[in-house]
Amino acid sequence: MTSETGSKIENPLVLLFTIFYAAAGIVQIGYFVIASSTAPPHLPILGILSLLTAFSLFKMYKWTVPLAVVMFITGITFAATTLFNSLALQEFGDAMLLNIALILYMIALLIATLYVIAKRAD
């Protein structure tokens, strides 16, 4: 018994990275909605870009690689700037959860982007 879902995902890593991009986008948009007075104004743009990347990766469009590269550049810039400011304003332990989350986000973003670039021909 086979189910026809219409998606082209055959590799579980592609599904994992799709979930990563979608979750990151939802968190970024959700944080902006919850803390709109203190959240950076560009956060929903990053969230929408992340959701678009997840959708294009899920559907395996040709424009997935350039979109993933743009998401990588903007995402790393945002996370590194936020991490630097967090470390400059307080000790690492004072905002440890935020700092660890930003570091993990940058690592996951790097791995996902490198994977998408490596598999662009498939």
In a domain, 6, yes or no: no
Residue 9: the pLDDT is 58
For the chain, what is the domain count?
Answer: 1
Instruction: List the domain range (segments joined by +) for residue 81.
Output: 12-118
Say what the pLDDT of residue 93 is: 74
Q: Looking at residue 72, what is its pLDDT?
A: 94
User: Distances from the Cα of 38 to the Cαs of 2, 23, 33, 64, in angstroms?
Assistant: 48, 21, 10, 32
Q: What's the pLDDT at 40?
A: 83
pLDDT tens digit string along 29-49? 998 999 877 888 888 999 999
pLDDT by residue (tens digit) across 54-113?
Answer: 999 888 888 889 999 999 999 999 999 999 988 888 877 778 888 899 999 999 999 999
* pLDDT for the residue 45: 92
**pLDDT classification of 2: cutoffs 50, 70, 90:** very low
**Does residue 7 fall inside a structural domain?**
no
30 φψ region: left (φ > 0), alpha (ψ -120 to 50), beta (else): alpha
In a domain? residue 2: no
Residue 28 lies in a domain: yes
Give the model's pLDDT for residue 86: 87
Q: What is the CA radius of gyration of the chain?
A: 16
In-domain check, residue 43 = yes
